């Protein structure tokens, strides 16, 4: 059996926030964000809308696109760094709302590599004969992380005027990471097919010595209680971010992983038609393109429109490529990601 992608779907929240909008609530500029990151706009969830809402919409579309019914899905994998709630995660909500049967359903928590880990697990389940149709969804609502306070009202057009100075300062303090992220979801249905091309090889890596590169210390169960006001007043609920080292690692590890899966499958890297790479920063993609001697037709980007959507990035990009005819039958596609953990890897796939 080989694992073949037979359906895709996506969902993004309605609210679009441009770099010019962010200038109203923090000390930044469209020029800095565009030049240093490639992000021009991103979507943000409204309060009360979580990753599960986006996941349900993307999952429903992927099942319909695959020409299946909810009952046909026999395994659900939801990748998210931003679950609606810590316990029980989003998988049970998504399973229930999509009307899937009594199947295995679980979250994976590998941040920007979450969807890649999901693809690998889905393929393993298919190849071992344990699953026939696997629904894999990456979904994120980062808006809850963003320390914008009442400035959200300005972004949402609920009032005019200036931000509160303390909130302007807090948002400015976060500018090194907050401008990068956007909300969204993407889904794929992978099916077991005999004598098909499909997934050819896969590699997953984790280096825990790099765990401090991105960390959110609160809330967590080494604290008693696990969440308290002191954690929030000391900003432990906000990510700490070593941007420069993340940049270096991502630019090195993604090409390494692509070469590794190509070697495993016995194909030349030059044979790969398209690399669907994690979209953390356009400059990282430029560095990867340079290292691999390819251009943006081989490693495309959509970060300008969505920002870094963490676990949703790979399926959003693949869906777009598929919809616009850039993954014709026979294409050799390589998925690769690097993110917090540090987790990274690649998966090589021949589209039937």
For this structure, is 334 an active site residue? no
Confirm or reject binding of residue 243 to ligand ACO (CB under 6 A). Answer: yes
For 67-73, the CB contacts below 8 A with 24+ separation are 67/6, 67/7, 68/6, 68/7, 68/133, 68/189, 70/98, 70/99, 70/100, 70/101, 71/99, 71/100, 71/101, 72/132, 72/133, 73/98, 73/100, 73/101, 73/103, 73/133, 73/134, 73/135, 73/189
Which residue, among 230, 200, 204, 249, has the nearest Cα to 351 in the 3D structure?
200
DSSP state string for 130-172: S-SEEEEEEEE-GGGG---TTHHHHHTTS--S---HHHHHHHH
Q: Does 111 bind ligand ACO (CB under 6 A)?
A: yes
The yes or no reply on residue 152 touching ligand ACO (CB under 6 A) is no
Known catalytic membership, residue 142:
no
Q: Does 106 bind ligand ACO (CB under 6 A)?
A: no
Catalytic residue among 112, 133, 142, 319: 112
41-100 residues near ligand ACO, rule: CB under 6 A: 81
At 202, give phi and psi (nearest 5°): -155, 145
Q: Which of 75, 199, 250, 314 binds ligand ACO (CB under 6 A)?
A: 250
Residues 73 and 103: their CA atoms lie apart, in Å, by 8
Active site residue 112: yes
Distance CA 162, CA 153 (A): 10
Q: Which stretch binds ligand ACO (CB under 6 A): 49-57, 72-80, 120-128, 241-249?
A: 241-249
Q: Measured from the CB of residue 119, what is the shortest distance to ligand ACO in angstroms?
A: 17
The residue from 53, 142, 308, 334 that is catalytic is 308
What is the distance between the alpha carbons of residues 253 and 60, in angstroms, rounded to a whole number?
Answer: 33
Q: List the Cα angle 245/250/253 in 5-degree steps.
A: 120
Q: How many residues does the chain have?
A: 352
169 is a site residue for ligand ACO (CB under 6 A): no
**For ligand ACO, which is the closer residue by CB, 77 or 246?**
246
CB 58 within 8 Å of CB 11: yes
* Per CB under 6 A, 244 contacts ligand ACO: yes
H or E, element range at 25: none
Of the pair 322, 343, the CB lying nearest ligand ACO is at 343
Q: Which of 53, 142, 278, 343 is catalytic?
A: 278
Q: In the chain, what are the helix, strand and coil shares in percent, each to the nearest 5?
A: 40, 25, 35
Binding ligand ACO by CB under 6 A: which of 34, 247, 298, 326? Answer: 247
Q: Does 24 bind ligand ACO (CB under 6 A)?
A: no
The answer to whether residue 214 forms part of the interface with ligand ACO (CB under 6 A) is: yes
CA within 13 Å, CB half, 131: 26
* Binding span for ligand ACO by CB under 6 A among 26-34, 97-105, 227-235, 264-272: 26-34
Q: Which stretch binds ligand ACO (CB under 6 A): 195-203, 224-232, 240-248, 255-263?
A: 240-248
Residue 269 Cβ vs ligand ACO, minimum distance, rounded to whole Å: 22
Least distance from C-beta 310 to ligand ACO, angstroms?
5
Residues that bind ligand ACO (CB under 6 A): 28, 32-33, 36-37, 81, 111-112, 175-177, 179-180, 214, 243-244, 246-247, 250, 280-281, 284, 308, 310, 339-340
Report the catalytic residues: 112, 278, 308
């Amino acid at each position: 059996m080989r694992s073949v992608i037979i359906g895709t779907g996506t969902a993004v929240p309605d609210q679009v926030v441009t770099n010019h909008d962010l200038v109203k609530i923090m000390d930044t500029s469209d020029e800095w964000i565009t030049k240093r990151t490639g992000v021009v706009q991103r979507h943000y969830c409204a309060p009360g809308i979580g990753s599960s809402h986006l996941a349900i919409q993307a999952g429903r579309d992927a099942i319909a696109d695959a020409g299946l019914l909810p009952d046909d899905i026999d395994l659900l994998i939801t990748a998210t760094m931003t679950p609606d709630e810590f316990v029980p995660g989003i998988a049970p909500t998504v399973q229930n709302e999509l009307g899937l049967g009594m199947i295995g359903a679980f979250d994976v928590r590998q941040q920007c590599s979450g969807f890649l880990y999901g693809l690998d697990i889905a393929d393993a389940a298919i190849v071992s004969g344990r699953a026939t149709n696997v629904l894999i969804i990456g979904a994120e609502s980062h808006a809850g992380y963003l320390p914008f306070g009442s400035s959200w009202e300005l972004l949402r057009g609920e009032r005019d005027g200036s931000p509160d100075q303390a909130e302007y300062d807090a948002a400015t303090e976060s500018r090194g990471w907050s401008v990068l992220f956007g909300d969204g979801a993407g889904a794929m249905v992978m099916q077991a097919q005999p004598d098909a091309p499909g997934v050819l090889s896969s590699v997953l890596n984790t280096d825990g010595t790099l765990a401090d590169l991105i960390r959110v210390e609160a809330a967590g169960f080494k604290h008693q209680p696990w969440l308290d006001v002191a954690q929030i007043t000391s900003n432990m609920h906000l990510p700490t971010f070593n941007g420069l080292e993340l940049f270096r690692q991502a630019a090195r590890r993604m090409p390494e992983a692509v070469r590794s899966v190509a070697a495993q499958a016995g194909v030349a890297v030059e044979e790969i038609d398209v690399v669907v790479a994690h979209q953390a920063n356009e400059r990282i993609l430029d560095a990867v393109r340079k290292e691999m001697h390819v251009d943006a037709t081989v490693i495309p980007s959509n970060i300008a429109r969505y920002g870094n959507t963490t676990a949703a990035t790979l399926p959003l990009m693949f869906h777009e490529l598929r919809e616009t005819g850039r993954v014709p039958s026979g294409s050799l596609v390589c998925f690769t990601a690097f993110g917090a953990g540090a987790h990274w890897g690649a998966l090589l796939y021949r589209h039937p």
